[in-house]
Amino acid sequence: MGEPISIRFPLDGALKANRCFVIFRQIFGEGGRVEKEPIKLELEKVSGEGGEDVFALSFTLDDWGIYMYRFEAELEGGDIAFFGRGEGGEAKRWDWLPEWQLTVSKRAHKTPNWAKSGVTYQIFADRFCRVGESKFSKKGRLHTYWTDRPDIEDAFGTYRADDFFGGNIKGIISRLDYLKSLGVTLIYLTPIFKSPSNHRYDTSDYLTIDELFGTEEEFARLIKEAGDRGISIMLDGVFNHTGADSIYFNKFDNFESVGAYQSKQSPYYDWFTFRTYPYEYDCWWGSTVVPTVNKKAEGYRKLVLGEGGVIEKWTRMGVKGWRLDVVDELPIDFTTELCRKIKSEGEDTLIIGEVWEDASTKIAYDLWRPYFMGEQLDGVMNYPFKNAILQLAKGGSAAEFKEQITRILENYPRESLDVLMNLIGSHDTVRALTQLSGVTPPESKLARAEFTLSDDMYALARKRLMFAAAIQFTLPGVPCVYYGDEAGMQGFEDPLNRGAFPWGREDNVLLEHYKTLGKLRAKYADLLRGKTYFEDDPTLVVFRRESECGTFTVVANPTDVPVMRLISGRDAISGKPIQQKITVPPLGVRFIVK
């Protein structure tokens, strides 16, 4: 807010527009939803050459929040022409068209420069790699064979998340050179703190690393050895709920502490909300193993935000990023304090939120979330890009892809765009390869668990995945590879998307493709942080990244037929000059630099 904004609006000279106005209406701001009188500003006619009348205006907006805007023009003869947002962000003349969005932050916000290039790699901690003997003392079982599939249910038909493969810190350290070969610069670890489950989103103790995963000394070594290779570590912060089996709740009497479930005199009692003590309590989406925490509880805030607390301990150990689980479940004031605490421990610490929709206008529990107002998140898990990329790879139209991508580019602050976590799969989604096959999931759990793609289906899915990854690695933001996608892992929904990494059984075609893309991002890091412009093309997806260093152009063919296109420049991979019409094959992508 208060920063100069410039608008340039060209109109067809045949319209004979005498005056032109832009109309802003604020829809979100301080306090959430707002209803204020629209702001109508007149643009000045600055030129009238080449068949166009160009109107322009420089101005400021002094209230932070989300605005929508459109244009009106007074024509010769007294008619009023209305202009709104058409497909792909282009201006269209008609009544009641959609509007453009303008995001006005409360204050300027700088996101970490180190996080704006490279590749992020998500590791499901229990399933990536195991080195050494595992000291197993949990309920459930430790798989004897790394090649087993995850359990899908117990004898009673219930999934307990209590089967383990024993992936550990030593295993990750042993594979750091492998990750380096992929161009990885940031490892995003799913929860690593003490927990009874294999996913560890039901935290038992925020200040202790799970004994199956490793020790603090080993974690410190991971941070150092990864750092020596230019790789940072991001932790998963699960602050909306704890585990019922925890030192705080202690429902099953497995800890020496007096938990909230055991006594109203517990120091943790006010951390939770009981409806009928102790049996009925607020929990995340009705799952009683993860009771929801009262974020107003002084003791809880001290644990997370205070001296020697969760953020301070692990960030000072060398963690460079935090991914905030279900951030839209957290109260707004708690999120602000949490982000402030993280930044106080290091301004260049990256904060990524789990948001599945457009985060600039996210509504949760009837409240607008001010994620991009300069006081909270750096970026988010970019599920809108995921949806657009996978849809395109499965035969979606170039126009629809452009529309979905352009909306995010218009709505997000530039600093946030640069650090978006661009994923095409995660621990919460069906594996990208399985999605891209287009197969209909079998109805029974067992059939889904034992399903594998036929050779023909796999070949098609792999081709689509290579296409999708090429787009993922070149759009604004930072690509995030879900462990094993580069190796050809398959799987339907949780827990089948969380299998053990197939060491020694990787798809080398896919693997080499991902390594090439990683090298590409490293070689053209400056170009791939440039502004993004889409070109008009009825068939292909063509966009360029422009910076002071030059231009990086992506030409992608989402169709099932070859397409000819005139291209000039240098092939970004081979370095060879191109000054001719070339054929872009079906599901092919060409990278050109100038």
Q: H or E element: which one contains 257?
A: none
Name residue 141's beta-bridge partners.
163
Reduce the secondary structure of 376-440 to three states and give it as a string.
CCCEEECHHHHHHHHHHHCCCCHHHHHHHHHHHHHHCCHHHHCCCEEECCCCCCCCHHHHHHCCC
- Nearest-CA neighbor of 565 among 590, 584, 551, 585? 584
Backbone angles phi, psi at 522, to 5 degrees: -70, -45
d(C-alpha 208, C-alpha 310), whole Å: 10
Catalytic residue among 126, 163, 245, 325: 325
Indicate which residue of 354, 375, 415, 418 is catalytic.
354
To the query of whether residue 325 is one of the catalytic residues in this protein, the response is yes
Residue 406: phi and psi, rounded to 5, are: -60, -35
Q: Is residue 354 annotated as part of the catalytic site, yes or no?
A: yes
**b/e 415-434 (16+ beta carbons within 10 angstroms → b):** bbbbbbbbbbbbbebbbbbb
Count of CA atoms in the C-beta half-sphere (13 A) of 428: 11
What does the block give as tokens for 72?
């009106």
Residue 241 to residue 254: CA distance in whole angstroms: 18
* Strand order across the 119-123 sheet: 379-380, 350-353, 321-324, 232-237, 184-189, 119-123, 478-482, 421-423
Which residues have a Cβ under 8 Å from the Cβ of 78 and sit 6 or more positions away? Answer: none
Distance in angstroms (rounded) separating the CA atoms of residues 134 and 222: 18
Bridge partners of residue 424, in order along the sequence: none
Give the C-alpha separation, 6 to 145, whole Å. 62
Q: What are phi and psi of 135, to 5 degrees?
A: -90, 95
Among candidate residues 193, 236, 187, the one with its CA nearest the CA of residue 213: 193
Q: Is 221 helix (H, G, I), strand (E, B) or coil?
A: helix
Known catalytic residues? 325, 354
